[in-house]
Amino acid sequence: MLRSRPARAAAAAAAVLGLTFIASCGSASTPEGGATSTGGTTSLTGAGLDVVSATGPVDLKTAPKVTFATTPVRTTTVTRKVLTKGSGPAATKDDTVRVRVQIYNGTTGKLVDDGFAKDRTAEGYRLGRKDLIAGFTEGLIGAQKGARIAFAIPPDKGFGDAGNEALKISGTDTIVVIADVAGIHPSLTKIEGTQAPSPAGLPTVTFPNGPSKEPKITVPKTKAPTTTKAVTLIQGTGPVVRKGQTLAANYQGVLWKDGSVFDSSWERGEVADFPIGAGAVIPGWDKTLVGQKVGSRVLLVIPPKDGYGAEGRKPKISGTDTLVFVVDILDAY
């Protein structure tokens, strides 16, 4: 509901492989040697990851030189091989991992997506997201900073029977990923801290069922502001949100005119991930959330010009509606 008109750049939050469909994430071990299954006994129907090598420094600048000794590479489970050891804690499903990756079609051995191409940089992935391919997040769970890993994704943990025509991956192709890990950090699950009261004339915010449940937003019976307002109710201590990052947040939106809820990630039970400062969300979000700190709770009051404009957003939001949001910023990557 917070998407802009039109909802462009949504795919920027999941650039690698265009991974945007719902898929559950599995667990993974942390192997130190040969190919290891992350979901049970390895069952390969073609060559395994032992035929895949990647040489060169893990400096996040130099693309690895990847060689397939033979093809096809096929698997029926997500398998992973550590090519260069990293250090520090292993990534869990509660972490965000920054990587530079190269994606290969395991059947042909051809490169289909190059994270080392010109103008590409390390990309962040919150492993708890439900809109990324299961095999991609499974493959990254257990990774360490500074490591280079290879992992293979079977079709049922990738694009399924439909495949991906744009990437020339069929419904029977195994995907092979070479990932250089730039960094790992935990994502917040809730905001903690003492909440400041709302300024006079603006909505009040309470969390009667605790910080992990949806808030209660009470709108005053006064005329709505005509300019966008942003109030930091809890000041976070994390990094400052930068333009172009992906934001992970819980939020709830109500209408000023009657206090009715029109959108709530809390009610859906799913943290939202979206590009910020990139025109992918309504202008009021881009203008106010860039510059905030991770760990902050922010109250936003957004008139139509910074919301959905004169067109509104049917069926609940008219062209004259002022929007009120409470946003908990859990991560920026």
Query: In 10 A of CB 22, how many CB atoms?
Result: 11
| Whether the domain at 10-186 and the domain at 204-332 fall into the same CATH topology | yes
pLDDT at 211: 86
Find out if CATH 3.10.50.40 is the number for domain 204-332: yes
pLDDT at 36: 52
pLDDT at 4: 56
Structural domain boundaries in the chain = 10-186, 204-332
CB-based contact 36:79 (threshold 8 Å): yes
Give the residues of the chain that fall short of pLDDT 70.
1-46
- pTM for the predicted model, two decimal places: 0.86
Looking at domain 10-186, its CATH architecture is Roll (3.10)
